[in-house]
Structures are given as C-alpha cells and as structure tokens.
A = this chain, B = another copy of it.
Amino acid sequence: MNVSRDDASTWASWFRALGDPTRVLILNLLATSGRAMSVAEIVDAVDVGQSTVSHHLKILGDVGFVLVHREGTTSWWRMNEECLDCFPTAAELVMGRLPTAAPWDESGRGSTLSKKTSARSRR
C-alpha cells in the first residue's frame, strides 16, 4: 500500500522528462507533424543548438517517448504513440497505482524488466 522512495524516483523521472520547455517543443513538433524527422529539421524548428537537440532526444528516447531509426548518416526520430497512449495520469501517479517499469517500453529500457506488467487501455 505504501509507495517506496525508489518507486517514487522512477515515476518522477518519467514526468521530469516532460518538465523542460525545449523537450515539450520537440515532442509537440514530432506529434503534430505525424512523421519521423531528422535532427537538422528539429534544430530548425526549435531554437537551440544541434548538440542540445541531440541531448534532449536522448533523454526522451531513454524514457521511451520517442523512437529512432538510423538511415545512413541521418537519424529519423518519431513519437512513440504507444507511450503517448498509456503514459500515466497525475491521478494514477499520486495514487501510487503505477508499474515500476514503463509499460510502453518494449525493449525493457526501464530499470526492472517488464514484459507487459499491465496492458492498460485508456481513452
């Protein structure tokens, strides 16, 4: 029934990824464009340097918000729709009703190995 500090840290890190304006702009760009975009395209749209964009993409990729497909020297980044669909709400977070591994993350990037802890469907 009680939430451990470790669990709280994991969940907080998911929301922290959404806690930076540049990352919000990047996600908005990818989500509204509805397609994969190169780093250069993103740099053009968001007003920060290339290395900064790469850095934020890595953070978003670690959490599982975005997916990347390398093709030649260019990286194609796109939204992970599955993450968008089942990302926890604030209510679920504060009620402590969350798995400790990201359910949208197929590759087990999360700390603990998941494999479909709970197949949520909302909306």
Contacts and interface: CB of A to CB of B under 8 A. Distances in A.
Chain A's interface size range is 35 or more
Interface stretch (A1-9, A36-44, A69-77, A109-117): A1-9
Number of copies of this chain in the oligomer? 2
6 contacts: A3-B28, A13-B19, A15-B16, A24-B93, A31-B95, A85-B91
Interface of A: 1, 3, 5, 8-9, 11-13, 15-25, 27-28, 30-32, 47, 79, 83-85, 87, 89-91, 93-96, 123
Contacts of A23: 12
Contact of A28 (B16, B27, B96, B123): B96
A11 to B, nearest CB: 6
Nearest to A31: B94
